[in-house]
Amino acid sequence: MLWPKLVCFAFVSLAFGQLEHVAADKTIAACPTNFTRVADKCLLIDDSWKNFYESDRHCRSINAGLLSLKNQTELNAINNWLAEVAPNQPEFWTSGNKLGEARNDYFWQSTGEQAVYLPWNTGQPTPASGDCLALLAHVSMSTGQVVMDPHRLTVKNCTQWAAHICQAPLQLFQTQLCLNTMPPGGQQLEELLRVGSPLPIHQRRTSEHQNQTELNAINNWLPLVAEYQLELWTSGNKLGQARGDYFWQSTGEQALYLPWNTGQPTPASGDCLTLLANYKHVHVEHS
């Protein structure tokens, strides 16, 4: 049984021989599982109808955010993609909104940036219609067939329902390009070897609590960095929730650990949660 060992040794030697022909490191970009690359971002459609807040939470729960728009080139690419993958879906939530804005400026919730490029539909914007932005395609049957125009932005009430598009950044990987010589048959072999893990991708997260241990650690940290700050926003809210359940907007998860202050909760006071400190004899504790 010596010959199988010899054959195995030959293949191993060949493999190591190929690995000697290593080029310089290379960076490649790829999308997360189930996402599709469109222009320079990764997109995923969810055609289940949700309100804006629920749609945003769903995207965040899969380490993504609702769609944002940068320019006409990107919108053209998105419209071409939608015509292929969702030809009969006229409306999608984006992350655009003017929630909390007195001047009617719109921002992309997924990036925190002001929305500079706003490709409005005819007759838009109509600020009185709501605070959130959807991509809407007008549908007509003027030719006897259903014709859908390209999707453009429309103002919509945030509590109404629509499908939505999640976006995630391209994941960058460090690779090495391995090239061997011409093998038998004359076909060149080219292989990419992935080494290490994806390059770090900056992700925005707001404060959230998972348990008492975490809250204790936060309360020990706050006197060091914000000694006189009595109140801070968290991502907790019940926006768009008919049952009054609270969710962490930053992760899309339901808020199960809720360390209420004395006399709380008071749902009629609002929809969002802050960390509020109560003065005690010698120190401040947030709840």
- Residue 76 identity (one-letter amino acid): N
Q: Please indicate, yes or no, whether residues 132 and 223 belong to a single structural domain of this protein.
A: no
For the segment 161-176, the average pLDDT, to the nearest whole number, is 88
Q: Please indicate, yes or no, whether residues 164 and 41 belong to a single structural domain of this protein.
A: yes
Residue 7 lies in a domain: no
Q: What is the CATH number of the domain that holds 265?
A: 3.10.100.10
Task: Name the more confident of 265 and 286.
Answer: 265
Residue 100 lies in a domain: yes
Q: Please indicate, yes or no, whether residues 47 and 163 belong to a single structural domain of this protein.
A: yes
The domain boundary, picked from 141, 168, 195, lies at 168
For the segment 108-116, the average pLDDT, to the nearest whole number, is 97
Task: Name the more confident of 140 and 31.
Answer: 31
Cα-to-chain-centroid distance, residue 167: 5
% pLDDT > 70, the chain: 76
Residue 141 lies in a domain: yes
Residue 190 lies in a domain: no
Residue 274 lies in a domain: yes
Q: Which helix (H) or strand (E) holds 107?
A: strand 107-108
pLDDT at 167 over 90: yes
pLDDT at 119 over 90: yes
- At 279, is the pLDDT very low, low, confident or very high (cuts 50, 70, 90)? low
- At 6, is the pLDDT very low, low, confident or very high (cuts 50, 70, 90)? very low
Residue 192 lies in a domain: no
Q: Please indicate, yes or no, whether residues 53 and 155 belong to a single structural domain of this protein.
A: yes
Q: Please indicate, yes or no, whether residues 143 and 55 belong to a single structural domain of this protein.
A: yes
**What is the structure's pLDDT at 175?**
64
Q: Please indicate, yes or no, whether residues 149 and 256 belong to a single structural domain of this protein.
A: no
% pLDDT > 90, the chain: 59
- pLDDT, tens only, 187-203: 332 332 233 333 333 33
Residue 202 lies in a domain: no
Q: Please indicate, yes or no, whether residues 43 and 147 belong to a single structural domain of this protein.
A: yes
Q: Please indicate, yes or no, whether residues 68 and 142 belong to a single structural domain of this protein.
A: yes
pLDDT at 247 over 50: yes
In which domain, by residue range, is 239 found? 212-286
* Tally of domains in the chain: 2
- pLDDT, tens only, 63-105: 999 999 999 999 999 999 999 999 999 999 999 999 998 888 9
Residue 11 lies in a domain: no
**What is the structure's pLDDT at 282?**
40
Question: Rounded to two decimals, what is the model's pTM?
Answer: 0.73
Q: What angle do CA 266, 159, 164 make, to 5 degrees?
A: 125
Q: Please indicate, yes or no, whether residues 130 and 246 belong to a single structural domain of this protein.
A: no
pLDDT at 13 over 80: no
Kindly report whether the peptide bond that precedes residue 265 is cis, defined as omega within 30 degrees of 0. yes
Q: Please indicate, yes or no, whether residues 158 and 249 belong to a single structural domain of this protein.
A: no
For the segment 132-142, the average pLDDT, to the nearest whole number, is 92
**What is the structure's pLDDT at 18?**
39
CB 171 within 8 A of CB 32: yes
The domain boundary, picked from 100, 133, 168, lies at 168
Angstrom distance (rounded) from CA 75 to CA 57: 23
The domain boundary, picked from 168, 198, 233, lies at 168
Closest CA to 204 of 21, 68, 99: 68
Angstrom distance (rounded) from CA 244 to CA 250: 18
Q: Please indicate, yes or no, whether residues 61 and 155 belong to a single structural domain of this protein.
A: yes
- At 286, is the pLDDT very low, low, confident or very high (cuts 50, 70, 90)? low
Q: Please indicate, yes or no, whether residues 112 and 50 belong to a single structural domain of this protein.
A: yes
